[in-house]
Amino acid sequence: MDEDFPKTLLPMEKRFGTEDACREYLTQLRWPTGFICPGCKGKAGWIDRRHRWTCQTCRRQTTVTAGTIFEGTHLPLQVWFRAAWLITSQKSGASALGIQRVLGLGSYETAWSWLHKLRRAMVRPGRERLVGTVEVDETFVGGVTPGAHARDGGGKALIMIAAEEDGAGIGRIRLGQVPDASADHLHRFIQQAIAPGSTIHTDGWASYQGLEKLGYAHRTTRLKGKGKQAPVELLPRVHRVAALLKRWLLGTHQGAVSPSHLDYYMDEFTFRFNRRRSASRGKLFFRLLEQAVQVEPVTYDAMIGGKLHQR
Ligand SMILES: [Zn+2]
């Protein structure tokens, strides 16, 4: 599908004012070249008046929302589209309470689970890893952390941040939660987030040793004498990202994020951060819905269980 999306609120409201218009849009996103049976991949089928597709080959019945995050929803797609608009059009996203109020959803739990379903659509399947020179560091999130570089948790979540160097600025980022700052976990995060051949830029923490064996170049910047240089000057990009992430968690979400759900909040932060130079917020809306019809449905029970996703 061409990148066809409303750029501002009014065109969005006009365009998606009926269930048919929303369904048609999702159909274009899911099957841009025409219906494909999710069972046998057959390309021939017909649609009935209740919007149900029947595969001509295997006779399986399906709908455009079956097998996506919209599966089984009791509320109109129009409301979903507005939730997607709210979360993508605002620079800081939206909280569950905000979504509940603006959309008039019956319960906080519904709003909360919608946001989590949408967050699961924020990681594009098969996305490319970071490349070039990439700053990597760990930090704790959750509560106030005096002396933020102590590597013992104290009940807080330990996260890894990777940020591409782009001149003096930041390119793309990746975030991930790790159980501890051992070489095992740091190396695994780096392998998932960054393509081999890249240069990893870290501080002198011993767990970062051995990256050359994994196919990376490794540049280390060490603290020169006590108090002369703050860590923020050594790895300015990851510290900038850490500050923005913490401000967002405390601001939009009031710090009410448990470690078991933190990965999904970080996915949302990453989605927005990596598209911060998009000319139009409507493009984020488009990407989110595009990915929403490619992502498997997840139940509320699985979400409150905080099931970590496969990366
Ligand atoms: Zn079929």
Could you give the CA distance from residue 284 to residue 24 in angstroms, rounded to a whole number?
Answer: 19
Task: Tell how far the Cα of 127 is from the centroid of ligand 1, in angstroms.
Answer: 28
Work out the percent of the chain whose per-residue pLDDT is above 90. Answer: 68
Task: Tell how far the Cα of 39 is from the centroid of ligand 1, in angstroms.
Answer: 5
Task: Tell how far the Cα of 155 is from the centroid of ligand 1, in angstroms.
Answer: 50
Task: Tell how far the Cα of 31 is from the centroid of ligand 1, in angstroms.
Answer: 14
CB distance 174 to 274 below 8 Å: no
Q: Inform me whether the pLDDT recorded for 307 exceeds 70.
A: no
Q: What is this structure's pTM?
A: 0.86
DSSP string, 119-131: HHTSS-TTPPPB-
Could you give the CA distance from residue 311 to residue 301 in angstroms, rounded to a whole number?
Answer: 20
Q: Inform me whether the pLDDT recorded for 153 exceeds 80.
A: no
**Amino acid letter, 82:** R
Task: Tell how far the Cα of 47 is from the centroid of ligand 1, in angstroms.
Answer: 13
* pLDDT bracket for residue 300 (50, 70, 90): low
* pLDDT bracket for residue 147 (50, 70, 90): very low
Which residues have a Cβ under 8 Å from the Cβ of 42 and sit 6 or more positions away?
A: 36, 55, 56, 57, 58
Question: Of 29, 22, 24, 27, which is closest to residue 3 (Cα–Cα)?
Answer: 29
Rg value, the chain, Cα: 22
Task: Tell how far the Cα of 45 is from the centroid of ligand 1, in angstroms.
Answer: 8
Task: Tell how far the Cα of 19 is from the centroid of ligand 1, in angstroms.
Answer: 26
Average pLDDT value for the chain: 87
Could you give the CA distance from residue 163 to residue 173 in angstroms, rounded to a whole number?
Answer: 4
Could you give the CA distance from residue 36 to residue 22 in angstroms, rounded to a whole number?
Answer: 19
* pLDDT bracket for residue 2 (50, 70, 90): low
CB distance 3 to 280 below 8 Å: no
Task: Tell how far the Cα of 209 is from the centroid of ligand 1, in angstroms.
Answer: 51
Task: Tell how far the Cα of 81 is from the centroid of ligand 1, in angstroms.
Answer: 29
Task: Tell how far the Cα of 29 is from the centroid of ligand 1, in angstroms.
Answer: 19
**Amino acid letter, 273:** F
Predicted local confidence at residue 224, as pLDDT = 64
Predicted local confidence at residue 299, as pLDDT = 65
Predicted local confidence at residue 154, as pLDDT = 53
For residue range 110-138, list pLDDT tens digits in order. Answer: 999 999 999 989 988 788 999 999 999 99
Predicted local confidence at residue 279, as pLDDT = 83
Task: Tell how far the Cα of 50 is from the centroid of ligand 1, in angstroms.
Answer: 19
Residue 141 parent element (H or E): strand 133-141
Task: Tell how far the Cα of 289 is from the centroid of ligand 1, in angstroms.
Answer: 24
**Amino acid letter, 232:** V
CB distance 134 to 164 below 8 Å: yes
Predicted local confidence at residue 27, as pLDDT = 96
